[in-house]
Structure 1
Amino acid sequence: MPPLVHRRGDAAAAASVRPVPVLRGPWGAVLSLAWVVLAFAAEPPLRDAAAAMGLPARAGGGGLPQALDSLAAWGSILLVVVLAVRLTDVPLRDYLGWRRPRPGDLVLAAGFVLTLYGALVAITLLADTAAVHAGRPGRTAPGAGPVAVVLAWSSTVLLAPIVEESLFRGFLWRGIANRHGVAAALVLTSVVFAAFHWGYWMRGGGIDLLSVVHYLVMGGVLGAFRLASGSTLVPMVAHGLANASLAAFPTVVTALA
């Protein structure tokens, strides 16, 4: 019969062995898309809940109330996706691609967008046409002060790029690329990005094909920046500059004409 001390040692060793936890990786492509849809669908009730707590909701007329309303709207969308990430074991920063980019990638993205819209202004002037995008976000009333201008443009230039890139080129990209590769992620996120902007290319019961192409191309360009840099911060900067350029486009054309 073996010594009792050996039995005690074996029991202690067995007790010290713990099961290895099963890590939960990124959501798949379908579930990732479902989470993105849920994030946008949950935005109205979350804003209603914010209004019930005394926060501004669906404010009009510009100024601080409308800026807070935009912050609540975009924040509620991002909150749902953050919750989805927290249900996995992947760190939020890695999942959404919030990595510090190389300075050269930022310069390349900014230069590309500014060159693209500069060429668009030149073509418009040479064609002697007036491209006016009525109702674009970020427009302010004539004579508005600098604070009102900054608040009005904050949603267009900051909030929308940060949240949309975190969703499309961050969360959804990771879900698709994890199962199907980065090429599929680039194509599919571009299509979904264009689809979620249907309010801009479907008006009055018709479809503006040129606008559809615009969002598909823009989604592809932003995806290319994401792929090349490995960071969603680069497409965020490009997205913000593109929105600012598009909002300022009519003013610039009018001033130079």
Structure 2
Amino acid sequence: MSKGEEIIHFGKESGAPADRPGMALVAGDAGFRPWGAWTSLFWVAAAEVIRALVDLGLDRTPLPRVLVITLSWVTPLIVLLVAVRIARQSFATYCNLRRPRAAAVELAIGTFLVAEVVLRGIPYLATGSLRNNLPVEDYQAMIAPGMWPWWYVLKYWPAAIFAPLVEETAYRGFLWRGLAASRLGHGGSLLVSALFFAAVHYHYYIQGGQVVLGALISPFIFGLIFGFVRWRSGSTIAAIITHALVNIALTVLTVLAVRHGWP
């Protein structure tokens, strides 16, 4: 794929920009012009900062917890919606929130399964333990004796719903659109979006006030995995599916590991 400014053309059937590997990404003749790479990075960074500020305010309100969580996650989407509307584009089209084809869904699920086998299998072969790669201590601290164990999975419903929807829309949707339209192309979009995705998950690599750079590896790898699905499927929703499955699997495997005494 050319690394220069490419031409966005709209598919005749869906009216959405053709955005698959080997196809033109950025529109010219249809008047579709996304934000530039640096401006896209700015908008996503602004969305994260504004969300952090909103969270500070929400922490002091007596609102129900569900509403606080919802408002927190919706905030970045509102910021990006404003950015897309300023560009006079459809949010769903700009962020490539098209209904994925069956092949895209199969890719999303297949990539999830391969990632789980590899990323959990290698540590198991190296250490002989699955529990070391799961938040077992978090589960034990949250679930009291006699409590329904699967409450742990339900407790993290935002990670299964909001996190995949918002993060993939922001990084593999909005940000990817601007990066891929630049000289970076799809390959550069894959790397930069994964790096940005890892950077905002600061709770992984800032531990006890110390920066642990090695802890950036995990979110960066998952950023690459979700980006791969986005790139090869041409659908942000496919990346959302993979992301949701990964987050759900983490809590489900944790419950199973404790209940069945996995090593």
TM-score by length of 1: 0.75
CA distance in 1, matches of 2:252, 2:128: 18
The counterpart of 2:166, out of the listed 137, 153, 163, is 163
> Offset of 1:246 from its aligned partner?
2.3
Q: Which residue of 1 aligns with 2:22?
A: none
The runs of 5 or more residues in structure 1 that have no matched partner are 1-21, 57-64
Per-residue deviation, 1:43: 1.6
State the partner residue of 1:228.
232
Per the TM alignment, residue 191 of structure 1 is displaced from its structure 2 partner at its CA by 1.1
Larger CA Rg, structure 1 vs 2: 1
What does residue 206 of structure 2 align with?
A: 202
Deviations 1:109-158 (A, max 9, x none): 21321343245555555533331436879x95342597x65752221011
Aligned to 1:68: 67
> Are 1:25 and 2:29 an aligned pair?
no
Identity level (%)? 29
1:20-73 Cα offsets, whole Å, 9 max, x none, are xx9672111111111111111112443566689x772xxxxxxxx333221110
**Amino acid paired to 1:99:** R
Contact kept in structure 2, 1:28 and 1:176, CA below 8 Å: yes
- What amino acid is the match of 1:250? T
In structure 2, what is the equivalent of residue 35 of structure 1? 43
Judging changes above 3 Å, is the alpha-carbon distance between structure 1 residues 186 and 135 closer, same or farther for their aligned structure 2 residues?
farther
* Aligned match of 1:82: 81
Superposition pairs for residues 234-249 of structure 1, below 5 Å? 234-249=238-253
Q: Whole-Å Cα distance in 2 between the matches of residues 89 and 102 of structure 1?
A: 27
Q: Distance in 2 between matches of 1:201 and 1:48?
A: 21
Q: In the alignment, residue 67 of structure 1 is paired with which amino acid?
A: V
In the TM superposition, what is the alpha-carbon distance from 1:104 to its structure 2 partner?
Answer: 2.0
Equivalent-residue separation in structure 1 for 2:55 and 2:209 (angstroms): 28
Q: In 2, are the aligned partners of 1:173 and 1:189 still within 8 Å (CA)?
A: yes
Taking the aligned partners of 1:192 and 1:224, their CA distance within structure 2 comes to 15
CA contact (8 A) 1:67 1:155 kept: no
Q: Could you tell me how far apart the structure 2 residues matched to 1:229 and 1:35 are?
A: 25
Aligned length: 225
Instruction: Work out whether residues 194 and 215 of structure 1, in 8 Å CA contact, stay in contact via their aligned partners in 2.
Output: yes
Residue type matched to 1:29 in 2? Answer: A
Report the Cα distance in structure 1 between the residues aligned to 2:59 and 2:207, rounded to whole angstroms: 29
Q: Which residue identity does 1:204 align to in structure 2? A: G
* Residue 217 of structure 1: aligned partner: 221
Q: Does 1:108 align with 2:115?
A: no
Describe the shift of the 1:30–1:135 C-alpha distance in structure 2 as closer, same or farther (beyond 3 A). farther
Unaligned residue ranges in structure 2 (runs of 5+): 1-29
Q: CA deviation at 1:206?
A: 3.8
**SS of alignment partner, residue 181 of structure 2:** helix
Say whether residues 1:182 and 2:186 are aligned partners. Answer: yes
Q: Is the 8 A contact 1:125 1:253 kept in 2?
A: no
Aligned partners of 2:51, 2:137: CA distance in 1, in Å?
Answer: 21
Q: Which amino acid aligns with 1:102?
A: R
Per-residue deviation, 1:185: 1.2
